[in-house]
Amino acid sequence: METLSHKQFVILGLIAEEPSHAYSINQRINERGMRNWTAIGKSSIYRIILELEKIKLVEYYEEEVDHRKRKVYTVTDYGIKILKEKVYNVIKGFIGKNDEDFYVAFSMLPLLSREKLIEAFSYSIEIMKKHKVDLENMLKGNRNYPINVSGLFIHPIKILETDILFIEWVIEKINEGDEIGSKILGK
């Protein structure tokens, strides 16, 4: 399986939504405020597309606009396969930490079946619950920690509690049949 960098993951996901040229990808990144949580500069988009093309995850066709040719990139079947695996593994591996890839994977929920989503999110919750219990037990093991040490346990425990509630809400919405999202090519 191809290992996608975070930037490749973002760009491949955007191309999977709809055939795209570099400028339209940049526009969607701006419109969605993605630069607030991902480090993709305008100048790196084309380089990333070329990397994805080299490893056969995207291909292009040319179109003419205002007497200029431009490349429009589409995701390959292999690209969809790799993207689905990445989304599943990122969601399954989410352990309640601030994770740029989780945000990307979450935006690509339509790639996976409801069953696969429930499976991945359920696994994630179990890992987070175990981690939370481990932190609570470590904290209980020494109640005399100074605030600068105990706070390093309390803060992640509170974050885990919030993330567990969020993932439980997501599972509930999926089980209730809420719409999962927009189109993704090659589902």
Torsion angles phi and psi, residue 78, rounded to 5: -65, -40
* pLDDT < 50 regions, the chain: 187
pLDDT at 187: 45
Give CA–CA dist 87/94, Å, rounded.
11
pLDDT at 178: 87
pLDDT at 52: 96
Q: Are 73 and 49 in contact (CB under 8 A)?
A: yes
DSSP 128-167: HHHHHHHHHHHHHH-TT--HHHHHHHHHHHHHHHHHHHHH
pLDDT at 184: 59
* Residue type for position 1: M
**Beta strand spans in 42-100 (E):** 58-65, 68-75
Give CA–CA dist 45/10, Å, rounded.
10
Q: What confidence tens digit (pLDDT) does each residue in 133-163 have?
A: 999 999 998 778 889 888 989 999 999 999 9
Q: Are 57 and 2 in contact (CB under 8 A)?
A: yes
pLDDT at 155: 92
pLDDT at 76: 96
Total number of domains constituting the chain: 1
**Owning domain of residue 179:** 1-187
We report the CATH number of the domain holding residue 68 as 1.10.10.10
Phi-psi region of 30 (alpha: psi -120 to 50; beta: other; left: phi over 0): alpha
